[in-house]
Amino acid sequence: MNDIAEADRRFRVWMCGNLERAAEHFGLTVVAEPVHGWRDRSIGAAAQGPDGSRWLRVVSEQTRWAQGHAWTGNADANQIHGLSKPRVLGVHEWAEGDWRRQRAEVMTSLPGAPCSPTDTARSDPRLSEDWWNGLHHSLRRLAATPTRRVSTDQDKVDRRVRAAFGDQAEVRIQRWETVHGDLHWSNLLSPLGFLDWELWGRGPAGTDAATLYCYSLPVPGLARKVRDHFPVLGTPDGRRAQLYVAARLLHRAELGDHPDLVGPLRDLAAKLLR
């Protein structure tokens, strides 16, 4: 085992210890194998307590980043009503010296399972028409939810688009709405439910549909279903959102995420830029 792999293993073991510490604080017992989040910065597991089933999550961050909207997103999302999502019931934070800060959140658990074990679709999850209609209705309700939180602003759109497609590329957002901000297939459940509210806030209209569409590109039939259920993708607002999302995911690919999306995203962007 090389040094990097060993360091990663030790960090995951340390995060498991943090989860147990959080469970003790909240009077819970972890009852399932923990799930590590993106780049191991978070860990979560089903837990049981006096009031029944719960989901327990711990996120770890460098002290300088342990603040702001992304840090409090799940708890802030308690103000969202009318769609199926976890509700944060308690929060506990502690410092690990002066180098990291931990945030534990205990929340309600939802029925169902993720539509995909990965962010990117590898196959069609074959969801019912009721599920698709519920998704469309829920995102419309979310879009109309007032908030001061910001998921993406024009400056961020400009930076991502120019970095991905060159200084001549320009996407001026004309309409804004409240968005989930990271609507991929492992953040959606069947029966319908929405996970991971760290990044929600105001963003370009059509962002969530565009995000789900981009994560569906490796499965053309599924991508067509997303387009069929979200006509916004065929509008100027939707095309702007797709360019921004493609730029964002290409930036993530440069960091090592979903390399299989690079080709389809480049093809999509070329069509949109024409």
Output the pLDDT for position 1.
61
Q: CB under 8 Å to 70, separation ≥6 — which residues?
A: 198, 199
Nearest 5°: the CA angle 146, 151, 155 is: 120
Compute mean pLDDT per 10 residues along the chain, 274 residues long, and list them: 84 95 98 92 96 97 93 98 97 92 97 96 97 98 97 98 94 97 98 98 98 98 98 98 98 93 97 92
Output the pLDDT for position 242.
98
End-to-end Cα separation, the chain, in angstroms: 48
Query: Where, residue-wise, is CATH 3.90.1200 in the chain?
Result: 113-273
Output the pLDDT for position 66.
94
Give the class (CATH, top level) of 113-273: alpha beta
CATH architecture of 3-108: 2-Layer Sandwich (3.30)
Output the pLDDT for position 5.
87
| DSSP structure string for the chain | --HHHHHHHHHHHHHHHHHHHHHHHHT-EE-S--EE-GGGSEEEEEEEETTEEEEEEEEEEEGGGS-SHHHHHHHHGGG--SS----EEEEEEEEETTTEEEEEEEEE--SSEES-SSSS-SS-----HHHHHHHHHHHHHHHT---S-BS--HHHHHHHHHHHH-TT-------EEEE-S---GGGEEETTEE---TT-EEEETTHHHHHHHHHHTTSHHHHHHHHHH-GGGGSHHHHHHHHHHHHHHHHHHHTTS-GGGHHHHHHHHHHHH-
Query: Where, residue-wise, is CATH 3.30.200.20 in the chain?
Result: 3-108
Q: Which of 101, 102, 72, 100 is nearest to 88 (CA)?
A: 72
Output the pLDDT for position 3.
79
Token output for 234: 């065929």
For residues 151 and 181, the answer to whether their CB atoms sit within 8 Å is: yes
